[in-house]
Amino acid sequence: MKPSAELLSPSNHALVLIDFEGQMAFATKSITMEELRNNVAVICGASKIFNVPTIVTTVAEESFSGPVFPEIETYYPQASSGYIDRTSMNTWEDEAAYQAITGAGKQKLVLAGLWTGVCIVGPALSALAENYEVYVIADACGDVSHEAHERAMQRMIHRGVKPITSVQYLLELQRDWARHETYVAVTDLMKKHGGSYGLGIHYAHNMVKHS
């Protein structure tokens, strides 16, 4: 009856969102922007619902890369969240970002961002070198080509990174539909951003209501 320690729970990890900005998105070709934005909304909503420590970091926000995705701003407004702006491509090499991530006090780190081969590989491998357990939400990352994204994912997996998906992340945190305190928020999030799965939930709820 005891769940695996490999599983993510609301209390055992921190989420790090890296460089979800317009300038990075314009060149992203490995995933459609519609899919990426929906997946980002799912993981942001999940982390907010389950009170996961979440760090939002940007690169050259004012001078080059622009503001974060609206989906992030919705759940983590800059005014209250305090994004960490960097010059370094590797988040791990920025003192403020490093202190924020390690200061969360979680041994498991979950990463998502743009681009996979630069802004995710850097902190992922660096965190592994300091004995953190690292998970990467593969469908909430993107790169300039499918090849670039896939080679980056392979490189990280070979070193020990654990790949997951956005819906997997959400459902791993919910884990049990009998957890009523988060059930409505989770299903509402999926209705809005969960594609055909969300439509299935919407359909089921309406059929039960009218049966």
Residue 132 lies in a domain: yes
Q: Which residues of the chain fall short of a pLDDT of 70?
A: 210-211
| Cα angle, residue 167 at apex, residues 161 and 168 outer, rounded to 5° | 45
Answer yes or no: are the C-beta atoms of 18 and 111 closer than 8 Å.
yes
Residue 58 lies in a domain: yes
Q: How many domains does the chain have?
A: 1
Three-state secondary structure call for residue 16: strand
Residue 188 lies in a domain: no
What was the pLDDT predicted at 20? 97
What was the pLDDT predicted at 210? 65
Answer yes or no: are the C-beta atoms of 165 and 139 closer than 8 Å.
yes
Residue 5 lies in a domain: no
Residue 209 lies in a domain: no
We report the CATH number of the domain holding residue 29 as 3.40.50.850
Residue 141 lies in a domain: yes
Domain extent, residue 79, equals 13-173
pTM as predicted: 0.95
Residue 208 lies in a domain: no
Residue type (1 letter), 192: K
Residue 26 lies in a domain: yes
